[in-house]
Amino acid sequence: MIKAHSRGLGLRAASACAAAAMLAVGLGAATPAVAQDRGHGGHGRGEYTVAVALVEQPPVFGDPNSMKPGDVLLFEEPAVDPGDGHQIGDSLTRVQLLEGGSYLLDCTVRLADGNLVFSGGEEFAHMEHSTFAVTGGTERFSGAHGQVDITLTTINGAASDLLTFHLRR
């Protein structure tokens, strides 16, 4: 990390390095914190929202200090309740840097009652707020699809990312 604050699904740790590389060459509890169901109690068909915060950690693989297009960073981060900060699961995230200010991301958020999976591509310029496609889930979230909005936040003084899943079955 080139003295940049590492904010955002591990992406903030890579952003300053990716920007430098682009210049040279051309991102607990048994249930999620906010489970607001609209009409179907989270089971069956309907729309609902789930909010989880990921507390940022250094990558477990990859060096954010020497990133170039094609490089990969892997992260394991605690998933916490955004309301009180207690751990409710974890996440596994892969970030691959591309040329021109972009990255590919895929992430699995593992919670006690199932996993949520999302992925997509984005520009580093949109790190303050990003949206990705929810590609699936398991157990309680089986058959879920929709999108996840990611915004920067702080939980108990730690740099974190608020993930707000807007889901449909």
pLDDT along the chain (169 residues), means of 10: 38 39 30 41 73 97 92 97 97 95 95 97 85 97 96 95 95
Structure tokens at 90: 């974890």
Say if 84 falls within a structural domain. yes
> 33: alpha, beta or left, given left = phi > 0 and alpha = psi -120 to 50?
alpha
pLDDT at 52: 98
Residue numbers of the domain that contains 24: 11-168
Q: How far is the C-alpha of 137 from the C-alpha of 123, rounded, in Å?
A: 25
Confidence (pLDDT) at 10: 56
Residue 3: inside a domain, yes or no? no
Residue 2 lies inside a defined structural domain of this protein: no
Work out the end-to-end distance of the chain between its first and last CA atoms, rounded to an integer number of angstroms: 40
> For position 84, what pLDDT does the model report?
95
In this prediction, residue 9 carries a pLDDT of 55
Q: Is the pTM of this model over 0.75?
A: yes
Buried b (16+ CB within 10 A) or exposed e, 19-48: bbbbeeeebbbebbbebeeeeeebeeeeeb
| Domains held by the chain: number | 1
103 in a domain, yes or no?
yes
Given this model, what pLDDT does residue 169 score?
Answer: 83
